[in-house]
Chain A
Amino acid sequence: MATVLLIEDDALVRRGLQLALKRHGHRVEAVEDGEDGLARFGTGDVDMLVLDLMLPGIDGFEVCRRIRESSQVPIIVLTARGDDFDVITGLEAGADDYVIKPVQPTVLDARIRAILRRSVSDPDGVRTHRGLRIDTESLAVTVDGREVGLTPTELRLLLTLSKAPGRVFSREQLLEEVWDQGYLGDSRLVDNGVMRLRSKIETSPARPEYVQTVRGFGYRFGPV
C-alpha cells in the first residue's frame, strides 16, 4: 500500500480525489499548498506525489524542482491547462507523468500503479558500458565510479535500453515497456525521459555516449 501525497489548493477537488484514490487502495495524504507539501515530504515515508501545477505561493513547477534536488520520488503533475507549455514545463521540472483535469480517478490510479511498478529487478547482475556501470540487483548506477540517483522512470528506461545494446526501440515500444501506456501515451514523455536520463549519465548530453537518438525511429543504447 503506497502513500500518495496529494498537493491541491481547491478544497473540494482535494477531498474528492482523496476519497476516490482511497477507494483504489492508496493511502492518500492531502495538503493545500506547496509549502505544506514540501514540509510533509520532508518528514519522509512518501512513495509518490500527485501535484497540482497551479498553486498559490510556490507553484507546482517550483515544488517539483525543489523535490528533485534531493529525491527521485515519482511525481505526477495535475494540470487544468492542457497546452504544451504546462506539460513540457512540468516534465522539464522533473515530473514523471502528467494528467489533465478533469481526470478520472481510474486513469490517475493506473498512472500511479504504472510508475510504482517501475522498480524492477533484473537477474543479469551487472552491466557495464565504458564508464557506466548498472547493478541490476541493487539497482545502483555509477558513472566513472560516481553514483547517480535515477528516478524509477529513468532507471527503468535505462534498464530497458541497456538490456539489448544496439537495438533500436521506438517511442511507442518505450511507452509500452517503461510507462505502461503504449499507443495511448504521449511520445513527449519518452523524449523528456531520455533527455533527463542523459543529463544524469552522459558526460556531454549534446554528444551522448550511452543513449543514442536514431532519427525517425527512436533510441538505442550503446556504441555509436
Chain B
Amino acid sequence: MRTSRIRRFLRSMSGLRGRLIVTVVVAAALGATAAAWAGVQQSTASLIEANRRYHTEDLAERITQAAPSAQYPPGRGSLDRLRIAAGENSLVRYDDAMSGDGIFASGAQAVPAELRQALNAQAASEDPGVLTQRVDIDGRPWLLIGAPVMITAPDGTLTPSGIEVYAARDLTDVEEQVDGLARGAATTTLVALPLAVLLALLASQGVLRPVARLRDTAQRLAQGDLDARTDPAGVDELARLTRSVNDMAASLQDSMESMARMEEGSRRFAADVSHELRTPLTTLTATVEVLNDILTHTNSIRSSDEQEARESAQLAVIETRRLVELVEDILDIARIDAGTAQLRREETDLFEVVSTCVHTRGWSDDVTIARPASAPGDTTVVADRRRIDVIMANLIGNALTHGGAPVRVVITATTEEASVQVIDSGPGIPEDVLPHVFSRFYKADAVRTRTPGSGLGLAIAWENARIHGGTISAANHPDGGAVLTLRLPQAPEQATREDGREQIP
C-alpha cells in the first residue's frame, strides 16, 4: 500500500513536474535563506559597529576628561586615576608600570601583542585614534579597546605621552542579540520552505495544467481526431507552444482533408469508370450472344435472322469503337493522374496546330480560325504539339456537338501568354453547369441523350492544359454561345531534358 503510494509519488515527481517543483523549491529556499542571512549579516554588522562606536567614544571621552589631570611621566597615582576614569575592566600602562582591574587584575596577558604594536604605531601617527579588537577570554566574547593618551601642547600639536589605556567590554549581550537574529533568520528560512513548496506546486500547476491539456490534445490528434485544439494558456512559452501545436494540427487537417478529397475523387472516378464500361459491355454481350445464337443454333438462316445478325454486328462494331475510345481516354487520364504522362515540348505554332486539327477531322466547313493580323508569327509557343491537338480536338468537337456550328476559333498572344478561344453558336452553357464542364463523366444534358464521346473529353483537355502550366476556362459569350478559353504560358516552366521529353511532376 505505502510503497505503491510512494512509488506513485516518485513517479509523479519524476519528469517535468518533479524538476519544476525541485527547481522552484530550491530557488525559493535559497532566496529566502540568502535574504534572511543577508539581513542577519547586516543587522549583526550594524549592531556590533554601534556597540563598538559607543564603547570607543565612551572611553575616549573618559580619557579626555581624565588625561589633563595626569602627570608626566605618570606616577602610580596617575595610572590608578586614569584606570578608574576608564571604568571597569581596564588597564593603564606606562612602559612596564601597569594599573589594571577586572579581567586585567592579573596583568596585561589579556592584551594581544599586535594590539599593543598597532596602538604604539597609532600614537606615532598624524591622527592617532582608538583601536578595537574582539577577543575571547575564558570562553566569553570581549571587545578590547586601546587608546594612546596624547599630550596637547598650547599650540594644539599632539605628542604621544607613552601612556596606553586598554578597556575590555563584555560582548556577551551583543553576541546573544546576534544569535537571536541568526535564529530568527533560520526560522524565517524554515517557514519560507513550506511556503516555497506551496508556491512551487502552484507554479507547477500553472505550468503543468496547460501541459497536461496539451498532452491530451496531442493524444487526440494521434488517435486521428484532427479537430482537437487547445486554448493557448499559461506562461508565454507554453502559449506559444500551444499555438504551434494548434497550427500543426490545422495544417495536418488541411493536408489530410485534401488527401481525403483526392482519394474520394479517385474512388468516384474508379466507380464511374466501371459504370461507364458496363454500358458498352452490356450491348456487346447481348449482340454477340445474338450473333452466336444465329450462327450456331439455326439450321437454315431465315431473312429475319439475317436482318438481326446484320443489325447486331453493326451494334457490336459501333459499341466496340465506343469502348475502345472510352478505354483510351481512361488510360490517358490515368497516365496524367499517375504522373507518367510524357511532354515533348517543341516550338509549336498554335495557328498551324488548330488548322491541321480542323482539317484532318473534316470540320473545315463549320469552323473559322482567326489570328492576330499584326504579327501572325507570334502564335508560337513551346508546347507538346500532340497534346495541343488533343486539347483543340476536344474543345472544337465539344463546341460542334453540344453547342452548334459555326464555331469560331480566335488565337491571341502577348509576351506572357497565348490564348485560344473556341466560341460556338449554341444556346450557351447553363449557369449551374458551368462549374462542372471539366468534371469527369459529367453529363450536362438533363435529358441525357447519349452523345458521342466518352464523357472525358473536356476533362482530358483540362488535364493536358494543366501539365503545360496552362488553364482552360468556360464562360458564356454576351452575344450567346459558349466560350472555352485555353491559356498557355509563353515561357515553359520546366527545362526540357536533352531528348526533348520531360516527366510530369
Contacts and interface: CB of A to CB of B under 8 A. Distances in A.
B121 interface: no
Interface of A: 9-13, 15-17, 19-20, 22-23, 33, 54, 56-57, 80-81, 83, 100-106
A54 B443 CA distance: 12
A16 B315 CA distance: 7
Given A10-B279, A16-B282, A105 B289 contact: yes
A104 B289 contact: yes
A121 B428 CA distance: 60
A23 B288 CA distance: 12
Nearest to A19: B290
A106 B289 contact: yes
B305 to A, nearest CB: 9
Interface centre among B280, B286, B311, B318 (most CB of A within 10 A): B286
A103 to B, nearest CB: 7
27 contacts: A10-B283, A10-B450, A11-B450, A12-B283, A12-B318, A12-B319, A13-B283, A15-B283, A16-B284, A16-B285, A16-B286, A16-B290, A17-B286, A19-B286, A19-B312, A19-B315, A23-B290, A23-B308, A56-B447, A57-B447, A80-B275, A80-B278, A80-B282, A101-B282, A102-B281, A102-B285, A105-B290
Interface in B197-244: none
Contacts of B284: 16, 102
A23 B287 CA distance: 11
Contacts of A23: 290, 293-294, 308
B328 interface: no
Given A13-B286, A33-B447, 12 more contacts: A10-B279, A16-B315, A17-B286, A20-B287, A20-B290, A56-B445, A56-B449, A80-B278, A80-B279, A100-B278, A105-B285, A105-B290
B129 to A, nearest CB: 111
Contacts of A10: 279, 283, 450
Q: Which 5 residue pairs of A and B lie closest in terms of their CB atoms, listed nearest first?
A: A16-B286, A102-B281, A56-B448, A102-B282, A16-B283
A10 B455 CA distance: 14
Contacts of A81: 271, 275
A81 B279 CA distance: 10
B113 interface: no
B446 interface: yes
A23 B403 CA distance: 40
A9 B446 CA distance: 12
B450 A9 contact: yes
Given A15-B311, A102-B281, A20 B286 contact: yes
A24 B293 CA distance: 10
Contacts of B289: 20, 104-106
A86 to B, nearest CB: 10
Contact residues of B: prevailing secondary structure: helix
Nearest to B308: A19
A56 B451 CA distance: 13
Nearest to B322: A12
Interface in B226-283: 271, 274-275, 278-283
A106 B322 CA distance: 24
A15 B279 contact: no
A103 B447 CA distance: 25
A47 B287 CA distance: 24
Interface string B420-452: 000000000000000000000000011111100
B340 to A, nearest CB: 29
A103 B293 contact: no
B286 A105 contact: yes
Contacts of A103: 282, 285
A116 to B, nearest CB: 20
Contacts of B282: 13, 16-17, 80, 101-103
A171 B399 CA distance: 55
Contacts of B318: 12
A19 B304 CA distance: 11
A16 B287 contact: yes
Contacts of B448: 9, 56
B355 to A, nearest CB: 34
A178 to B, nearest CB: 27
Nearest to A104: B285
Contact of A15 (B275, B315, B322, B450): B315
A57 B275 CA distance: 19
Contacts of A83: 271
Nearest to B450: A10
A103 B285 CA distance: 7
A80 B283 CA distance: 12
A122 B449 CA distance: 47
Nearest to A32: B449
Nearest to A78: B282
Nearest to B280: A12
Contacts of A20: 286-287, 289-290
B337 to A, nearest CB: 22
A101 B311 contact: no
Contacts of A56: 445-449
B218 to A, nearest CB: 38
Contacts of B279: 10, 13, 80, 101
A102 B274 CA distance: 11
A19 B447 contact: no
A31 B312 CA distance: 18
B28 to A, nearest CB: 68
A100 B319 CA distance: 19
A12 B279 CA distance: 9
B285 to A, nearest CB: 5
Nearest to A57: B447
A102 B278 contact: yes
A49 to B, nearest CB: 17
B287 A19 contact: yes
Contacts of A22: 308
Nearest to B281: A102
Contacts of A101: 278-279, 281-282
A103 B278 CA distance: 9
